[in-house]
Amino acid sequence: MSILILADHNGHSLKISTRQAVTAAKLLGDETHLLLVGANLDELIEEARQLSGVSKVLVADAPHLIHAVAEDIAPLITCTAASYRTIFGGHSSFTRDVLPRVAAMTDVSMISDVIEILDYRTFKRPIYAGNLVSTVQSDDPIQVLTIRGSRYKPSELNPANTADVERIEVPAQGLQLATWQSETKQSSDRPELANARIVISGGRSLGSQEKFQATLGPLAEKLNAAIGASRAAVDAGYAPNDAQVGQTGTQVAPDLYIAFGISGSIQHTAGIKDSKVIVAVNLDPDAPIFQIADYGLVADLFDVIPQLTNAV
Amino acid sequence: MKILVPIKRVVDYNIQVHPTADGKAVDISGLKMSPNPFDENAIEEAIRLKEAGTASEVVMVSFGTESNHDVLRHGLAMGADRAILVKTDKTLGSLGIAKLLKALIEKEAPNLVLMGKQSVDDDAGQAPQMLAGLLGWAQGTFVSQLTIENQTAHVVREVDGGTESLSLKLPAVISADLRLNAPRFVKLPNLMMAKKKPIESIEAETLLPLKDLKVKTIAVEYPASRGPAKILNSVDELINALKNEAGVL
């Protein structure tokens, strides 16, 4: 049975969550199609057709789709939905925006944030901010999902894999229900928080915005890590909103997560639980973060961070 | 302009939940229930639009049994004008909620639906987009800033790696992020006054025949536990562990 993946990309390359989705698709069916929506997609088409595991690349390429919105993307998917058993994407703000609309227009339920695939219609997903895990089974004819990618290795480019390319019909103009105006990106000589291999985060004990940057910055530079922050540090103004790690901020799943001076509220730990290795550095030996970390140092972060920065 | 704000009654977000003894559901018996936090942001924003003269009426709706009166009263005390309880004891799922909301919207004819981006129990994050899809309306999801001008809503959305600004043709469905605002505290006199505001009851089945859920929960369990941490004594030990034991450096 065929699987359709809605690709998330930045106009030039596929997001890692999409490449992870391609790997996950192998557990769901035997033929994987990837849908690209945007404008001037030639570069992306070349990348997509070499992705190991993709057998067909569907392309909706039109000038008015350059900043395509959910209102215009959803109908492109629903008109071919019936030929697929599963329609899904990685768990990203893009897929979480578009796919529920697709599901409703197809009159099927949706299962968000799958963390484990048991079979093509049975999945595990976190509920209550990751404090519980529920196993759900769907009787719908089409499964619409987002899959949290951190458990799946990103599919690799294989020049020998040359998937077919099929251009799908696109209306001459958008519905104009919603119109893209502008965007702001977090300054990014650093990896994106959601996709970084290493994330280092600071709490309120960093003391000020200046100290937050001056202390964590050099270590992040050395490790090529993204910098995150606890809700308390964000609320205190030490770090920008989009640096907040946790259930109500960004959920991360890096290979290595280091929490400096973060006590470990439920909402914070829910957002880091899928990390491969968690390190906690905290002066308080009773901080809850030590209960979910793999390694702990009961020490002053202002001593530890310079030592670490010099040593790595 | 009329704004409809759906509100869900959920286990208070500070409370640790557990599976039932048979491991097939979440045991919520006897737990403190509260309005879903993101829905409070939606109510707050709707009330601010009314206070600014942009909106003329704020109507709340909740789906469930009479115990939902408490969250509706909470919203009325915050400043909503009236409330509707759509009565059902069935579990509806996001699609079921979206369909019932659509049926209600055909009666109430709001210009804007403001709702939380997700509920903190199921964490699905689907109902707003599903509703917009069923209605064929514009959708603004994960919104942290909202301004209304003529027949257009300008929103700033929280997206991976930054923010995005969209303009939406009204009517539209907008889903609130926590950063949209800080919901006001409810004062006791307001709570008393809210008791005089009307709560209308509608049987869900009179809006729409309800169908059985297509997605069934077959098990609920604790996540695989990790930790507690191996406590190390020095930075050197930590680097050694990360390099040679965990292989992540």
Q: Which tens digits make up the pLDDT trace of A225-234?
A: 999 999 999 9
- Closest-CA distance of chain B to residue A164, Å: 30
Average pLDDT over residues B40-65: 98
Structure tokens at A205: 């004990």
Average pLDDT over residues A101-109: 98
Question: Does residue A39 belong to the interface with chain B, where contact is any CB pair within 8 Å?
Answer: no
pLDDT of residue A147: 94
Q: Is the pLDDT of residue A5 over 80?
A: yes
Structure tokens at A232: 């308390």
pLDDT of residue A265: 87
Nearest Cα to A254, choosing from A232, A281, A276, A222?
A276
Instruction: Return the residue of B nearest to A226 by Cα.
Output: B161
- Closest-CA distance of chain B to residue A12, Å: 16
Structure tokens at A2: 């065929």
pLDDT of residue A213: 93
- Mean pLDDT computed over every residue of chain B: 95
Q: What is the pLDDT of residues B185-212, one digit of tens each?
A: 999 999 999 999 989 999 999 999 998 9
Which is more confident, A101 or A191? A101
Q: What is the pTM of this model?
A: 0.90
Q: For residue B18, which residues of chain A lie inside 8 Å, CB to CB?
A: 132
pLDDT of residue A130: 82
Which is more confident, B165 or A154? B165
Question: Does residue A288 belong to the interface with chain B, where contact is any CB pair within 8 Å?
Answer: no
- Mean pLDDT computed over every residue of chain A: 93
Q: How far apart are CA B45 and CA B18, in angstroms?
A: 33
- Cite the beta strand spans of chain B per DSSP E: 2-6, 9-11, 18-19, 26-27, 33-35, 57-64, 82-87, 112-116, 138-149, 152-159, 162-169, 172-176, 199-203, 215-221, 230-232
Question: Does residue B17 belong to the interface with chain A, where contact is any CB pair within 8 Å?
Answer: yes
pLDDT of residue A188: 59
Question: Does residue B57 belong to the interface with chain A, where contact is any CB pair within 8 Å?
Answer: no
Look at B215 and A138 and tell me if their CB atoms are within 8 Å.
Answer: yes
Q: How far apart are CA A91 and CA A246, in angstroms?
A: 15
Which is more confident, A281 or B161? A281
Q: Is the pLDDT of residue B236 over 70?
A: yes
Burial A273-295 (b: 16+ CB within 10 A, else e): bbbebbbbbbeeeebbbbbbbbb
Q: Which of A71, A178, A276 sits opposite B248 (nearest CB)?
A: A276
- Closest-CA distance of chain B to residue A58, Å: 22
Of the residues B242, B243, B245, the best mutation for testing chain A's interface (the one with the most A CB atoms within 10 Å of its CB) is B242
Q: Does the predicted interface ipTM exceed a cut of 0.90?
A: yes
* Count of H-run helices and E-run strands, chain A: 9, 16
Which is more confident, A6 or A251? A6
- Closest-CA distance of chain B to residue A160, Å: 31
Question: Does residue A118 belong to the interface with chain B, where contact is any CB pair within 8 Å?
Answer: no
Q: Is the pLDDT of residue A122 over 70?
A: yes
Q: What is the pLDDT of residues A212-224, one digit of tens each?
A: 999 999 999 999 9
Of the residues B26, B248, B249, the best mutation for testing chain A's interface (the one with the most A CB atoms within 10 Å of its CB) is B248
pLDDT of residue B166: 98
Domain residue spans in chain B?
2-245
Q: Is the pLDDT of residue A98 over 70?
A: yes
Lowest mean pLDDT segment, chosen from A227-231, A254-258, A263-267, B219-223: A263-267
Q: What is the pLDDT of residues B118-163, one digit of tens each?
A: 999 999 999 999 999 999 999 999 999 999 998 999 999 999 878 9
Q: What is the CATH number of domain B2-245?
A: 3.40.50.620
- Cite the beta strand spans of chain A per DSSP E: 2-6, 31-38, 54-61, 86-90, 110-114, 116-119, 122-127, 132-138, 143-147, 164-167, 178-185, 198-202, 226-229, 256-260, 277-281, 295-297
